[in-house]
Structure 1
Amino acid sequence: MTQAALSPPPPLGVYLHLPWCVQKCPYCDFNSHAPPRTPRTGEAVLHHRPAGTAEPAGEIPWQRYTEAVLADLAASAPALQGRRVATVFIGGGTPSLFPPDAIHRMLSTLDREIGLADDAEITLEANPGTVEQARFHGYRAAGVNRLSIGVQSFDSNALRRLGRIHGPDEARQAVQAARRAGFERVNLDLMYALPDQTTAQALADVEAALALEPEHLSHYQLTLEPGTPFHTRPPAGLPDEPRLLALEGACRDRLAAAGFHRYEVSAWARPGEACRHNLNYWRFGDYLGLGAGAHGKISNPVAGDIQREARVRMPGAYMAGAGTDAAIAETRTLQNPDIVLEFMMNALRLADGFSRTEWHRHTGRPAALWQATVAEAVADGLLADDGERVRPTARGWQLLDALLQRFL
Structure 2
Amino acid sequence: MEFTRIDGGVCAAKGFQANGLNCGLNPDRNKNDLGMIFSTEICNAAAVYTTNKVKGAPILVTKKHLETTGKKARAVIVNSKNANTCNADGEEKAQKMCELAAKELGISADEVIVASTGVIGQILPIEPIADHVKELAAGLAPENHDKAANAIMTTDTFPKEVAVQFTLDGKTCTVGGMAKGSGMIHPNMATTLNFVTTDVAISSELIQKALSEIVKVTYNCLSIDGDTSTNDMVSIMANGLAGNTEISEENEEYEIFRKALYEVLMNMTKMLAKDGEGASKMLECTVSGAPDQDTAIIVAKSVIRSPLFKCAMFGEDANWGRILCAVGYADADFDITKVGVDLASAKGSIAVCRNGSGVEFSEDEAKVILGEDEIYINIDLGQGEASAKAWGCDLTYDYVKINGDYRS
Asked if Structure 1 and Structure 2 have the same fold, meaning a TM-score greater than 0.5 normalized by the shorter chain, the answer is no
Give the TM-score of the pair, scaled to structure 2.
0.27
Q: Which has the higher strand share?
A: 2
Bigger helix share: 1
